[in-house]
Amino acid sequence: MAAVVKSERTAARSAPLSETTVLGWLRKNLFSSWINALLTIVSIYIIYAAVKGFYVWGVADAVWVAKDRRECFDISIDGACWAGVIQWMNNFIYGRYPRGELWRVNLGALMLVLWMAPLWVPRVKDKILIGMSTVFLYPFLAGYFFAGGEKGIFMQVMVTLGIVFLVGNTLNVIIGVSSGRGLREVMIQKLGKQDASDESQRNTILAIFVGALVVVFVLQMWWTFEAVSWTKWGGMFLTLVISGIGIAAALPLGIFLALGRRSKLPVIRVLCTAFIEIFRSVPLITVLFMATTMFPLFMPEGVPLNKLTQVIIAVCLFSGCYMAETVRAGLQAIPNGQYEAAHTIGLGYWGTMGLIVMPQALKHMIPNIVGSFIGLLKDTTLVSIIGLFDVLGMLRSVSQDIPWRGLHKEPLLFGAMLFFIVCFAMSKYSRHLEVKLSAGDNR
Amino acid sequence: MAVTDSDKASAHVKPKERFDFFHDERVRSVFYQLLTACTVGWLAWYLITNTAHNLEIRGMNTGFGFLTATAGFDTDFKLIEYEPGIGTYGRIFLIGCLNTLLVSSFAIVASTFLGFFVGVLRLSNNWLVARLALAFVEIIRNTPLLLQIIFWYVGVFALLPRVKNSVDLSGGAEVLFINNRGLYMAWPVPGDLFWMTTTAFVATVVGVFLLRRWAHKRQDETGQQFPIFSASVALLILVPGAVYLVTGSPLEWDLPTLQGFNFRGGFSLPPAFLALLVSLTIYHAAHLAESVRAGILSVNKGQTEAALAIGLKPGRAMALIIIPQAMRAIVPPLISLWMNCVKNSSLAIAIGYSDIVALFMQTALNQAGYAVEMVGMTMAFYMFISLSISGLLNIYNKRVQLVER
């Protein structure tokens, strides 16, 4: 019996329609059943109505240049009046900060960029030092730029340290990017000391550092900025100041509270747990009210505490408690073997935590920390309720301004767009980080 | 012989512990705890004495006596009787608590439904619907809640028509009106015999419960199914309805009617309440949608395939197999979301809804000035709510963990 074998090859079938053509894709993803088709049509209608409505109101019929709201109405009765938003733009960003001194705020922002940018440059060394100095030195330097006035001796030292670090940091980055080496190596080489002993190298570096400090200290004694009262701070600038300080303080506070909550010592554990839970179970606005009504009572007589300081303390405590839970989650993800291994090689509690556990936990927590920062940035708008003119406070006061009386929607929409862009970009970035950081774990 | 004996003995004798006072773990632990307790104690003492001193020099009163003192200000929205000049601060506190609970419980229910709905839409195999749901979630989650609340208030509810041109939402039946002063609706006033309808309803609920147990038992024994859902719905509507009609419809409706410049009668909700309700619902629904999506995705695909393999229809597979397992991942974030919803309702103060913060922590505090007590009471209220809700979560987690192997 002859075997039944095909003599020629079967021709390859073409790929399914849904994988190749636009029509196929549409059919698979949008019109796979009658109910899906219905949903698609409804969705298209919703998108059409929303986009068209916004376009007509916000772009086509909108007024971009006018001197007051009446003129807006004269030009177009049912279009958006973006002219008011444009005229108030500086207020949204800087609040009532004196217009002649705005460069100080801009310079402060630029310094932050210079300070932190190296963290994203792969070839730069000493990133931990950069991160620490951002948290502990930058706020003082920037704070002096923003507030101005006479410097106390503490402020003088901090400003000096800040400037020296900023210059060193920037040089370090430039050298790092161009040659892949650290600032220290290059200085040693330039001085021809690369063959000297370690101690001599260290002393040289120290001498340069101290010399720079003295020079900057003497120089900074010559200039002072005009004082700008905190009542003039406002807009996005104030929002970023409060949330920036909040997140910078939240990290160390959160780490200590989380360690305390996981401590084996009952007194410390109970105290930390109670502190965290109290702050987490009440709304931020009550904490802010507590700050404005009760903090003045807490202070000894004759020590005034301005509202901004009260708010910042409240925000720091609040975000610290939330950060503590983030840190705790990060700590729980570290397997017990890491602790045991650390104990085996003879590390004590702080050695184990500081050298073995925390670095791993913090790495896993970076996306969550970015998430907390987004949350804090949004929550900072609450300070407008207790009378600070942050960005939301400024957005709301447009409608109190006489030429623009009653202009509510446009500034609020502008604010929503502003927040959306900032927060969406950050959350996308944190998701990207999450993928990038966990890439090593999912081998 | 003697040698082995002594070896054995030495093996049992513990080496003598050298007690080094400064390097002993127990001594250190006691020392650190004492140090912490003393620092915290000193800080507390310092703050308390400062506060006492400050209260004294400012001549501020202390104590909880103010709770029985009469309050001289009115509030626009209250669920219990209150008259300025007669009602007490204690009553103001109660009104605030009830208002907070009212708006947050409504928002919790609404946002839970909307959140599940959007979460399922996020997973729709319709590309456009999934994208639309994603856009909704991202836009809402990335803008501050306070901004949304204010937008709904000044951008939507304040722009509604005036009282004269109220919109009749019930389409001509004149039972539900909305205008820029709020939402006005008809309110039932139970008559004499209405208690019988209520009793009948409660009895039917018990009956339905028993019926379900019986149906389950029968299914387990014989495999026959009973149309329990339609039977329950029919019973729940028919029995109380029949009793209601037999007793002669003992329910009057208090209708809102336009008198002069405003509506009288019925029940009304101020625009601030509506704005707060809508914004809280949308904000928390967007957050919940992500949890629901993650929960459903966390169920292994094999579960769906297995369910379909044993012949369940897709709907039944979802209801019996997927959702119960997804709930394990959804409920913890769901409950913490409920907690957030209660806490976030405190933003009412920005648009003047009289919740506990606006009424008690701001207005009453400005009037009477018992800062420490009032702040403490408000925080205690929120703590009580949060602890109750997290207690619920713990009970649920325990039950779910029993199911897990």
Q: Rounded to the nearest 5°, which phi and psi values hold at A429?
A: -65, -40
Residue A377: the pLDDT is: 92
Q: Percent of chain B scored above 70 by pLDDT?
A: 94
User: What integer is the mean pLDDT of B142-165?
Assistant: 88
Q: Which of A285, A384, A420 sits opposite B357 (nearest CB)?
A: A285
Closest-CA distance, B84 to chain A, in angstroms, reads: 25
Using an 8 Å Cβ cutoff, are A388 and A234 in contact?
yes
In a domain, A16, yes or no: no
CA-wise closest residue to A238 among A359, A424, A97: A97
Range 271-290 of A in CB contact (< 8 A) with B: 271, 278, 280-283, 285-286, 289-290
Q: Name the band, by pLDDT with cuts 50, 70 and 90, for residue B404.
A: very low
* Tokens standing for residue B233: 């719905």
Residues in chain B within 8 Å Cβ distance of A424: 138, 142
Our count of domains for chain A comes to 3
The β-bridge relationship of strands B176-179 and B187-190 is: unpaired
Give pLDDT, residue B1.
Answer: 43
Q: What is the pLDDT of residues B276-332, one digit of tens each?
A: 999 999 999 999 999 999 998 888 889 989 999 998 887 788 888 888 888 888 888
Backbone angles phi, psi at B252, to 5 degrees: -95, 155
- Report d(CA B37, CA B32) in Å as an integer: 9
CB atoms within 10 A of CB A149: 13
Gap between the Cα atoms of B344 and A385, Å rounded = 13
What stretches of B226-370 show up as alpha helix (H) in DSSP? 228-246, 271-297, 301-309, 314-317, 323-344, 356, 365-368
Residue in chain B nearest A380 by alpha carbon? B144
A240 and A337 in a single domain? The answer is yes
What residue type is B11 in one-letter code? Answer: A
**C-alpha–C-alpha distance, residues A412 and A416, integer Å:** 6
- Taking the C-alpha atoms of residue A404 and residue A6, their distance in angstroms, rounded to an integer, is 85
| β-sheet bridge partners, residue B188 | B253
Q: Do A412 and B53 touch (CB under 8 A)?
A: no
* Rounded distance between C-alpha atoms, residue B224 and residue B218, angstroms: 7
Whether residue A377 sits in one domain with residue A244 = yes
Length of chain A: 443
Q: Tell me, yes or no, whether A103 lies in a domain.
A: yes
- One domain, residues A264 and A387: yes
Question: Of A280, A371, A365, which Cα lies nearest the Cα of A317?
Answer: A280
Chain A interface, best mutation among B379, B382, B390, by max A CB count within 10 A: B379
Give helix then strand counts, H and E, for chain A: 21, 0
A13 within a domain of the structure (yes/no): no
Higher per-residue pLDDT: B5 or A422: A422
Assigned domain for A5 exists: no
Question: Do A115 and A162 sit in the same domain of this protein?
Answer: yes
Residues A431 and A311 both lie in one domain:
yes
Quick one: residue B124, left, alpha or beta (phi over 0 = left, psi -120 to 50 = alpha)? Answer: beta
Do residues A375 and B340 lie in contact, with contact meaning Cβ atoms separated by under 8 Å? no
* Cβ density class A320-349: b for 16+ within 10 Å, e for less: bbbbbbbbbebbeeeeeeebeebeeeebee
pLDDT (0 to 100) of residue B205 = 92
How many CB atoms sit inside 10 A of residue B353's CB? 29
Tens of pLDDT, residues B39-73? 999 999 998 888 888 888 887 777 888 888 888 78
Nearest-CA distance B309 → chain A (Å): 23
Residue that is last in its domain, among A201, A227, A253: A227
Residue B287 neighbours by CB under 8 Å, 6+ apart:
B115, B141, B337, B340
In this prediction, residue A246 carries a pLDDT of: 92
Give me the domain span that covers residue A373: 87-97+234-435
Residue A393, domain CATH: 1.10.3720.10
Same domain, yes or no: A52 and A201: no
For residue B190, what are the CA distances in angstroms to B142, B177, B246, B255? 46, 22, 15, 14
pLDDT digit string (tens) for B9-20? 455 666 666 677
**Same domain, residue pair A122 and A61:** no
Is there a single domain that holds both residue A345 and residue A395? yes
In contact, B171 and B236? CB cutoff 8 Å: no
| Claim to verify: residue A204 and residue A300 sit in the same structural domain | no
Which chain B positions have a beta carbon within 8 Å of A39's beta carbon? 124, 126, 128-129
The reply to whether residue B386 touches residue A419, judged by beta carbons under 8 angstroms, is no
| Contacts across the A-B interface (CB distance below 8 Å) | 157
B-chain residues within 8 Å CB-CB of A278?
379, 383
A36 chain-B contacts, CB cut-off 8 A: 125-126
Domain match, A381 and A428 both: yes
Amino acid at B267: F
| Cβ–Cβ < 8 Å for A312, A245 | yes
Task: Report which of B47, B397, B387 is spatially closest to residue A280, judged by C-alpha positions.
Answer: B387
User: Which residue has tokens 């039917």?
Assistant: B204
Same domain, A164 and A48: no
* Sign of the dihedral defined by the CA atoms of residues B10, B11, B13, B18, in that order: positive
- Out of 2.30.31.70, 1.10.3720.10, 2.30.30.220, 3.20.20.140, the CATH code matching B89-153+271-403 is 1.10.3720.10
Q: How far apart are the first and last CA of chain A?
A: 55
Q: Give the tokens for residue B136.
A: 């909704």
User: What ranges in A180-265 are assigned the alpha helix state H?
Assistant: 183-190, 198-220, 235-261
On the CB side of B302, CA atoms within 13 Å amount to 1
Mean pLDDT of chain B: 84
Q: Rg of the Cα trace of chain A?
A: 29
Mutation for testing the B interface, residue in A243, A390, A412 having most B CBs under 10 Å: A412
Quickly tell me which residue has 């927060």 as its tokens: A423
A212 part of contact set with chain B, CB < 8 Å: no
For residue B130, give the 3-state DSSP assignment.
Answer: helix
Residue from A363, A281, A286, A282 nearest A330 by CA? A363
Query: How far apart (Å, rounded) are the C-alpha atoms in residues B134 and B139?
Result: 9
Query: Do the Cβ atoms of A422 and A269 come closer than 8 Å?
Result: no
Instruction: Please tell me if residue A408 touches chain B, with a CB cutoff of 8 Å.
Output: yes
Burial class (CB in 10 A: 0-12, 13-18, 19+), B6: exposed
H helices of A118-221, where? 127-136, 138-147, 153-179, 183-190, 198-220
- Full pLDDT tens readout for chain A, 443 residues: 566 777 888 888 877 766 667 777 777 777 778 888 888 899 999 999 999 999 998 888 888 888 888 888 888 888 888 988 998 898 899 988 888 888 899 999 998 988 888 888 777 767 778 888 888 888 888 888 888 888 888 888 888 998 888 888 888 888 877 777 777 777 778 777 777 777 888 888 888 888 988 888 888 888 788 888 888 888 999 999 999 999 889 989 999 999 999 888 889 999 999 999 999 999 999 999 999 888 888 888 777 788 899 999 999 999 999 999 999 988 888 888 999 999 999 998 889 988 889 888 888 888 888 888 899 999 999 999 988 888 999 998 888 888 888 888 889 999 999 999 999 999 998 888 888 877 665 54
Instruction: Write down the pLDDT at residue B378.
Output: 93
Q: How far is A5 from chain B (nearest CA, A)?
A: 36
**Helix (H), strand (E) at residue B366:** helix B365-368
Do the domain assignments include residue A330?
Answer: yes
Q: Same domain for A337 and A371?
A: yes
B182-185 and B267-269 strand pairing: antiparallel
- List the domain boundaries for chain B: 89-153+271-403
* Cβ burial, residue B3 (10 Å; 0-12/13-18/19+): exposed
Whole-angstrom distance, CA of residue A400 vs CA of residue A234:
16
The reported pLDDT for the residue numbered A1 is 55
pLDDT in tens, B216-251: 888 888 888 778 888 888 888 888 888 888 887 777
Note whether B346 contacts A283, CB cutoff 8 Å.
yes
Nearest-neighbour CA in chain B from A174: distance (Å): 36
Q: How confident is the model at residue B405 (pLDDT cuts 50, 70, 90)?
A: very low
Shortest distance between the Cα of B379 and any Cα of chain A, in A, equals 6
Contact list, A416 vs chain B (CB under 8 Å): 143, 147-148, 151
